[in-house]
Chain A
């Protein structure tokens, strides 16, 4: 194995760290240079993630030969050192992250990267935190990456700061700081009982734990689970979410669409490793199930009530988080692969929707000239950077090559995203929902469980409510009389088209995609393989 290849698993963390830090030192005025460095870094992350996926699909000797690669940071072996683990799930999440980061990045080049300072650095740090959270195999390291991505998200949320954003940001930061403290308390309790924070080792310890220690450990895991559920936006821990996502600038909100899925990923990962003999409360079972079904209904009501497109999409993000965790909580093994398909279908759709929302805002001429929506020149002076002259009085003051048939493009994109989000045929959203319901129906018939029926009803209701709300919203935006034809730049339209084409590709290549997801699901239900890869001498007996 060549040296560079051996270090490939750590590159998704190191690369954005280095490029983000480098961007801090490049002068603010050099827009082209800064954008190129940042864009190169994002493209490289796409390439790395794609290569890791390729090696998983087409196994070759060397890297990822057995479907898992453990990168030992600093040469300290687990469980004493920190490990990064690339397996089918984390590679999938890395690829998903990169696949939405690139369009968001390109979209922001049109205008948004210049309404505040250090946008590119913060975006890179956010990517670093996300990639790290997907890769790490250590609980405390997961905390550190959560903090990195949250710190970057605080900065990004305030990007182009105005009164609305600062107010929403205040709540967002307060909730997340409290959430981080809860995370730490959970980690401390787990360490106090198990004496380790390595996730694989925790799986081993949990399976063999003495009964008198189990309750304390479960309490620790329960507290930790609450921290994850805050991130995932599960009712009643999600009241911060719609306000925050609505206040953020469009590319930032688009990037935030994956942030709730980090919480889902963490729950899925820990739940899988602690599944033997039985996963503790927040990772499976009735608590998680009823909480997430309530989340779905909360999102449904929110979608129907929302008057703004961004707010509506925020609620659809809540619904998708709820759906993912509800199906996971029900513990139907055959539904895991469809859930992963739903995950990779709903995230690009949400991202594209936020980007479209940024463009349709311009349809309503009067609504965006409010005084408090103008970017604040104080940000520039605070960072001792000259205010770039491109920024006008109005955030939406756009000069660009208008693409032909802008309205037709926006309308088509809107319809495609609606189809994806609500799970209508023919796109991948339908296949995801259909396969989930089919797996659930199987479970409902076999075990005659009411929970499965409840979930099926909720799933259908979520799709129906989304359809009503989005159709209503779309008619208001595109068929109302008081609108203007927006000027769209190619650089804004291409990312949206890319995201939708990505979903179309997933629809066409559904067979190979499902094969991959099936193997990922199988891997998740077999925690021993993960544990064995990290700790070659240990194993968990059921």
Chain B
């Protein structure tokens, strides 16, 4: 599981960085989205990967730390997703505004060969 998980994070991150460095605004926004997936998965992994351990304490069971997962990284991921979503939406608006103003989807607002 660890290997697949880390490969997933790595591939997301690599694709994200590559797209982020591309000259088209849409590629940049996709790159940022992929990078944020990689980041979110990474935060989640930092709470340690475990199976069959709920992050909530069951009142019927005697509390034992080894039976439960750490809920903090999950809360952090949730917050990060919400914030990332909002800022990406905002970026999307700017992307469209930039397209409207400059008539091109190049990040600098001008095509290189012009």
Contacts and interface: CB of A to CB of B under 8 A. Distances in A.
A178 B20 contact: yes
A161 B42 contact: no
Contacts of A494: none
Interface string B30-54: 0010011001001101111000000
B46 A192 contact: yes
B32 A178 contact: yes
B6 interface: no
B39 A184 contact: yes
Nearest to B83: A147
A38 B32 CA distance: 34
Interface stretch (A168-176, A201-209, A337-345, A443-451): A168-176
B35 A170 contact: no
Contacts of B79: 140, 144
B67 interface: no
Contacts of B39: 181, 184-185, 188
Most chain A CB within 10 A, of B39, B88, B97, is at B97
Most chain B CB within 10 A, of A162, A173, A187, A372, is at A173
B97 A161 contact: yes
A180 interface: yes
A189 interface: yes
Contacts, number: 89
B90 A154 contact: yes
A133 to B, nearest CB: 15
A6 interface: no
Interface string A182-199: 001101110110000100
A237 interface: no
B107 interface: yes
A315 B77 CA distance: 37
A88 B53 CA distance: 44
Interface residues of B, number: 34
A140 B72 CA distance: 11
B83 A144 contact: yes
B94 A158 contact: yes
Given A140-B76, A163-B109, A188 B25 contact: no
A213 interface: no
B90 A170 contact: no
A246 to B, nearest CB: 15
B43 A188 contact: yes
A405 interface: no
Given A188-B46, A191-B72, A163 B32 contact: no
A144 B90 CA distance: 16
A149 to B, nearest CB: 12
Contact of A163 (B25, B94, B102): B102
Contacts of A167: 98, 101-102, 108-109
A438 interface: no
Interface in B53-112: 72-73, 76, 79-80, 83-84, 86-88, 90-91, 94-95, 97-98, 101-102, 107-109
Contact of A188 (B36, B42, B90, B97): B42
B46 A173 contact: no
B73 A170 contact: no
A192 B42 CA distance: 10
Nearest to A168: B109
A450 B6 CA distance: 45
B60 to A, nearest CB: 24
Given A161-B97, A167-B108, A177-B91, A191 B42 contact: no
Nearest to B29: A174
B80 to A, nearest CB: 6
Contact of A187 (B28, B76, B86, B98): B76
Contacts of A189: 46
B8 to A, nearest CB: 15
29 contacts: A140-B79, A154-B87, A154-B94, A163-B109, A167-B98, A167-B102, A171-B107, A173-B87, A174-B32, A174-B107, A177-B32, A177-B87, A177-B88, A178-B35, A180-B84, A180-B87, A181-B36, A181-B39, A184-B80, A185-B42, A187-B43, A188-B39, A188-B42, A188-B43, A188-B73, A191-B46, A191-B47, A192-B46, A192-B47
Interface of A: 140, 144, 147, 150-151, 154-155, 158, 161-163, 166-167, 169-171, 173-174, 177-178, 180-181, 184-185, 187-189, 191-192, 197, 372
